[in-house]
Amino acid sequence: MPTVDNREGVRTVAVDRDRDGQRVDNFLSANLKGVPKSAVYRLIRTGQVRVNGKRCKASTRLAENDRVRIPPVRLQQRDEVIVSDAVQEQVRQAVVFENEHLLIIDKPSGMAVHSGSGLPWGLIDALRQSRPGEFLELVHRLDRETSGCLVLARNGKALNHLSAQFREGTPGKFYFCLLDGRLQQDMVEVDAPLAKVENGQRRQVQVTAAGKEAQTRFRRLEAYTAGTLAEAELLTGRTHQVRVHAQHLGTPLAGDALYSSRKSLNKWRKLGLRRLFLHAHRVVLQDPGGGELDISSPLPDTLRRVLDGLE
């Protein structure tokens, strides 16, 4: 049971069985409703959050019965953020698979997975409001501009099981992408380490020997005059991995405002593309209840129409 220090507004929360193995940052997000991720990380970084009386990192994993010190945060509470009925219905209709352990949703492009960076809500908030009282936690992330298969856990045991898979890189993750240029071979494997960098006010990722190991396998599906439709298989899971590896090949993703040139963006806008052409179309993983799941979602109509207009 949580205890509260009324003099300071500090809470000490005991970790229950459903949260055993969860990262500290995700545990705090669940307990600090409506607080942006950036604020959560700041609380951890400044030592205001303690686990069993000791400082911790965002990646620290909790165990059942651990006691977490949570400081008061004077920010808008998530339950005050109202996601419209239309958006709630949109995410309900986007569910492509669910069982007692997990849920896979076809995330729309343009919808962030969680609040923060000036966004009052994310897909997880819309889903929780559409399914009040249910346990729902993100297992991994997709960029805001990317559409496709997103995995969520429906109980603590499943969260631990699925998080371990993604941490170890065992799930198969496959994306449809449109490259601005020719992929010269049927299959190209990029092995180029990646690191996050600050570029003015924008966060970007670049290939650098000092970065973390990253591999992507590109398979050519269709060649057009304007570009190449490919399937990108993530052999590791780094931020912006497909986007930066495509740029590294000299064929940035069509519609990528962060990693392609203005000339490229204008070219694809004239061809009818108004978003990043990147869709997580398939995920293969082990069901926490046993067996393998192979789930896919079709290419969105907005992207299909762009392909239909190419020669």
125, 143, 180, 256: the active-site residue: 143
User: Could you confirm whether 294 is annotated as catalytic?
Assistant: no
| Matching residue, tokens 């979602």 | 297
Return the active site residues: 143
